[in-house]
């Protein structure tokens, strides 16, 4: 399988990365090189093989569903590029 420039632009939009036509063109070639490289997996017989879900045999740990942390909104928003009154500020999303 290979991708064309329109597919690259569509995928870039899905990934929320703005690309110029020039960049998309360059990435198309690079992505196709990688996709050609991973194509060798088609040789492998995976009939009846379970997909890997965990490399370590361990039951997923569970914890009590209780509040153990928090109560410091100033710390939570402390790194935000824009915040006000412990809210994250973003461009207007509702009219």
Partner 1 sequence: MTELTKLTLAEARDRLAAREISASELTNAYLSAIEAANPSINAYVAVTPERAREMAARSDEKLARGEGGALEGIPLGIKDLFATEGVHTQACSHILDGFKPPYESTVTANLWADGAVMLGKLNMDEFAMGSSNETSHYGNVVNPWRRAGSNEALVPGGSSGGSAAAVAASLCLGATATDTGGSIRQPAALTGTVGMKPTYGRCSRWGVVAFASSLDQAGPITRTLRDNAIMMRSMASSDPKDTTSVDMAVPDYEAAIGRSVKGLKIGIPAEYRVDGVPEEVDALWARGIEWLKAAGAEIVEISLPHTKYALPAYYIVAPAEASSNLARYDGVRYGLRVPGEDIADMYENTRAAGFGTEVKRRVLIGTYVLSAGYYDAYYLRAQKVRTLIKRDFDLAFEAGVDAILTPATPDAAFAPGAFSGDPVQMYLNDIFTVTVNMAGLPGLAVPAGLNRDGLPLGLQLIGRPFDEETLYTLGHVIEEAAGRFEPAKWW
Binding site for partner 1 (CB under 8 A): 1, 3, 7-8, 11-19, 27, 30-31, 33-35, 37-42, 44, 46, 49-56, 58, 60-61, 63, 72, 75-82, 88, 90-93
Q: Smaller CB distance to partner 1: residue 25 or 82? A: 82
Shortest separation between residue 78's beta carbon and partner 1, angstroms = 6
Percent helix, strand, coil in the chain (nearest 5)?
Answer: 40, 5, 55
Q: Which two tokens stand for residue 11?
A: 């995928």
Residues 6+ positions from 74 with CB-CB distance below 8 Å: 86
Measured from the CB of residue 59, what is the shortest distance to partner 1 in angstroms? 10
Q: Which long-range contacts does 85-89 make (Cβ < 8 Å, 24+ apart)?
A: none
CB of 14 to partner 1, least distance (A): 5
Closest CB to partner 1 among 1 and 67?
Answer: 1
Rounded Cα distance, 66 and 29, in Å? 50
Q: Which residues pair with 87 in a beta bridge?
A: 84
Q: Provide the minimum distance between the beta carbon of 68 and partner 1 in the complex, in angstroms, as a whole number.
A: 9
């Amino acid at each position: 399988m290979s991708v064309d420039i329109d597919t690259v632009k569509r995928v870039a939009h899905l990934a929320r990365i703005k690309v110029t036509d020039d960049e998309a063109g360059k990435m198309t070639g690079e992505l196709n090189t990688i996709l050609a490289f991973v194509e060798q997996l088609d040789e492998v017989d995976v009939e009846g093989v379970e997909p890997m879900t965990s490399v370590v045999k361990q039951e997923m740990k569970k914890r009590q569903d209780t509040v153990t942390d928090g109560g410091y909104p100033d710390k939570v928003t402390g790194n935000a590029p824009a915040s006000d009154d412990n809210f994250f500020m973003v461009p207007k999303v509702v009219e």
